[in-house]
Amino acid sequence: MSTPDLQNAAAVIDLANGVVLAGLQQVSSNGGIDANQSLAYDLCHAASAVETARGLLDYGGRGDYEASISCAFVADAVGDLAAKVWGREAEFGVEVGALDDAREFVSTYRDPKFLATLAFDDGARHLDQDFEMVQDTFRRFAEEKIKPVAEHIHRDNSDIPEDIISGLAEMGAFAMSVPEAYGGFATGTESDYMGMVVATEELSRGSLGAGGSLITRPEILTRALEAGGTEEQKQAWLPKLATAEVMAAVAVTEPDFGSDVAGIKVTATPTEGGWLINGVKTWCTFGARADVFMLLARTDPDRSKAHRGLSLFVVPKPRGDGHGFKFTQEAEDGAPGGGVIEGSAIDTIGYRGMHSYEVAFDNWFVAAENQIGLEDGLGKGFYYQMAGFENGRLQTAARAVGVMQAAYEEARQYAQDRSVFGTPISEYQLTQAKLGRMVVLIQSSRQFAYAVGRMMAKGEGQLEAAMIKAYVCKASEWVTREALQIHGGMGYAEEYTVSRLFVDARVLSIFEGADETLCLKLIARRLLDRLEG
């Protein structure tokens, strides 16, 4: 593609952005988000697509192929927005035909014949040499160690083999988020974010549960400790997290409280030498195999204090297997004994290997030194756990890219191998157009993930991280759905990898903040703040 096409792409992005801003103004002036939830939700996804498109312009300047990808994504994003606006112009606060000037551009680059030209080349990533090495290293591990067991783990709902955990530990994968001063590799620079994004994608390409999500285990607790832990607590836990001597799980969500953690009921009551934990947590991913929980509990019985009455704990526990566990504490190391922790596995359609649990705590003792921040940390647990999750949305986007990439590769290969009515289905225009759109969505998502990683390294990009999570996770549902469809009846058979990828993709818009909550409670609010500021 030539430079004028990218110039037109930039103009089309500005046109779409104007529609988004007009819609946000409507939300602001007509009762706010809660009175306009459907509009606000659509605007969040439209704004996320516009930001992804804007982030592609630099990539598009690197060559003809890259420009083709960029123009195709811009056309796709603006075409989707036009479909949302049509018939709702008054609601969006725009005139009929507000996007008419983009019509020719969208028609050109959404043309199935154009998309078909992109079907069989997923293109250059333009990574620096160091990150190419990271990509190669983790892709090789995923190919050799994860993919051979991924189907077994999924179909039998089995545990992640220990040799995968130890192998990743030997590679330093769990040390990527731990600061160098505590035995890790994190330097506080751009490389921390980029390395994690690249590694997460490659491992997720092998398996979402047994690969991409596994290496994120230490990061949440690491960042929480960095935010509020004492020096002694950092010295005690961070080196062990870096080597996988200690594997962590998160116990924040409760049966009645998901994203609204301010209302949680699990209590931590003072006792001699520490605290007694009582109550029930749910969706504790990796809870059996983990050595510790990062647990958020109410330490102030005055519930009117909401999130200001919560504190964060490192809660040691024995290791269990993937189908449930029950442990009773011995009277040792200051524990009075008799405390019980019991985990019941929650069966899920995908994302297997990690396993999720509902966990009940009955007078489970936690030593005083395991309350993060000690006296200074009382009532600050909400803020520490939020710091722990700050990079989770970007990582989830990287996981989604890995799942999409795997689905595209499976669909491309099947299309080339399978003939229908005497012709390989890869030669049909409809198949090629689907594969071409997959390429566009995957490469565009990947490039924006890189851009957001660079922003976050500068202490910026929190809104963009939420945006990419919202956009890419929904895109992964389309990509995996169409990849399965290309397989026809065999896509519905568990013997084909694409069926696993399809059900794994479905969780991505749910965890790390359900899509609707993420859009309405975070993205929409920040977009309005930006508009009104």
CA atoms within 13 A on the CB side of 461: 24
DSSP assignment of 33-98, as one string? TGGGHHHHHHHHHHHHHHHHHHHTHHHHTT-HHHHHHHHHHHHHHHHHHHHHHTT-HHHHT--TTT
- Residues 473, 468: Cα–Cα separation, whole Å: 8
Tokens representing 38 are 């459907």
Residue 276 DSSP code: E
User: For strand 310-316 and strand 292-298, is the pairing parallel, antiparallel, or unpaired?
Assistant: antiparallel
Is 95 marked active-site?
no
DSSP assignment of 150-211, as one string? HHHHHHHTPPPPHHHHHHHHHHTGGGTTSBGGGTS-B-SSHHHHHHHHHHHHHHHHH-IIII
* Helix axes of 190-206 and 129-141: crossing angle, nearest 10 degrees: 30
Report CA-CA distances (Å) from 287 to 249, 292, 322, 507. 6, 8, 8, 18
Helix or strand (DSSP H, E) at 268: strand 267-271
* Helix axes of 462-486 and 392-417: crossing angle, nearest 10 degrees: 20
> Active-site residue among 202, 219, 512, 532?
512
Radius of gyration for the chain, computed over Cα atoms and rounded to the nearest angstrom:
24
Catalytic positions, please?
Answer: 512
